[in-house]
Amino acid sequence: MASCTSLLAVGIICGLLAQLHVSQVIDGCSWVNVTNQRLVNWNNETVTTGNLEACQSMCEHHKDFKCRSVDFNQVERECVLSEGDRADSYLGDADDWQYSEIQCQEEWRNRSSCTLVGPVQGKIMFDSTLRFNVRPDSTVEKCEAACRQEQRFFCIAFNFRESSGMCALQELDSHMRRLVEVPPFVYYELNCDPDVDPTIWLPPAVHVGISDDRLCSIRGPVIGYSGPVEQNTCAIEATLTQCEKKFIEMSAVVEMKAFSYNPLTGTCRMHRESRENEPLVATAGFNYYEYSCKFSEDLVNQCLHFAP
């Protein structure tokens, strides 16, 4: 818990630095405030300060890590410093809290006034970790407006399903992650390139050797195992192909990590956790599959080896 207030001498040095940093914050950067919200996770360090300005100043001068945002509670006078901001996580409702982050003009994180490009037919952004980012009964126009106005995180793209009007806002774009084929959806993103021509724009081709060109695929089966059956695990009747399709479709709107399939009963279970976080359960009749981008040397099986 390093803070500027521990020693008077340090306090004086911090005071001098404060003036230096204030001008830096003015120089193309400023604090942006959101009331009654706070950052979900990424709450790295808690200190007690008198007011929001002191909390923000603490962040500007923080030494242990580059502080990018704060949550301040005006009742408890609690000041939470964070190394992340809405580009890393998202805001959730929280009475008595105020969220503030340092935004600099040259960062280009806020794409709200950039050009909408797309649609990319039959593709989606698959890797989002956001929760509660789905809007029903939408149109492409409404979905676009929602993305441009989003406060909780930096919305830069969206998946849209015409047949049901389903709009799923995304914090990742096609430069960051590969798009995945899911026929009922279309994909759009906000592009800040001043020369972009939306009529001819295409998502980046997959370049071999670049880190975002990961060998993502559904891997399995792990025969005789199922993912843990949680309360929110959803089970449907399907063929294996339908189960796989359902898994990818659901992943377009909520984060799904794996599924299990019983070929005898046609039961298809969805899992929000993969075996990385939750051990598999030996379950007669079921086979386990997961979506993974991890490199596996076992490319024939595409299935990581199992501890006996």
Ligand X SMILES: *[C@@H]1O[C@H](CO)[C@@H](O)[C@H](O)[C@H]1NC(C)=O
User: Measured from the CB of residue 46, what is the shortest distance to ligand X in angstroms?
Assistant: 12
For ligand X, which is the closer residue by CB, 101 or 290? 101
- Chain residues 159-178 in contact with ligand X, contact rule CB under 6 A: none
Q: How far is CA 222 from CA 165, 184, 190, 255, in A?
A: 36, 29, 39, 21
* Token duo for residue 49: 């300060």
- 278: amino acid identity, one letter: E
Cα separation, 196 vs 304, whole angstroms: 42
**Out of 90, 99, 126, 154, which residue is the one contacting ligand X (CB under 6 A)?**
154
Q: Is 239 one of the binding residues for ligand X (CB under 6 A)?
A: no
Note whether 120 and 157 are within 8 A (CB).
Answer: no
- Chain residues 18-47 in contact with ligand X, contact rule CB under 6 A: 31-33, 41-42, 44
Q: 70 has which bridge partners?
A: 81, 100
How many residues bind ligand X, per CB under 6 A? 20
Q: Is 306 one of the binding residues for ligand X (CB under 6 A)?
A: no
Count Cα atoms within 13 angstroms, Cβ side, for 214: 20
User: Measured from the CB of residue 92, what is the shortest distance to ligand X in angstroms?
Assistant: 14
CA 94 to chain centroid, in Å, comes to 20
- Chain residues 42-101 in contact with ligand X, contact rule CB under 6 A: 42, 44, 52-53, 56, 65, 83-84, 86, 100
Cα separation, 300 vs 302, whole angstroms: 6
Note whether 271 and 257 are within 8 A (CB).
Answer: yes
User: Measured from the CB of residue 52, what is the shortest distance to ligand X in angstroms?
Assistant: 5
For ligand X, which is the closer residue by CB, 53 or 237? 53
For ligand X, which is the closer residue by CB, 56 or 251? 56
Reported as type and span, the H/E element at residue 251 is helix 240-251
For ligand X, which is the closer residue by CB, 86 or 272? 86
Count Cα atoms within 13 angstroms, Cβ side, for 268: 16
**Out of 24, 74, 151, 277, which residue is the one contacting ligand X (CB under 6 A)?**
151
Site of interaction with ligand X (CB under 6 A): 31-33, 41-42, 44, 52-53, 56, 65, 83-84, 86, 100, 110, 112, 149-151, 154
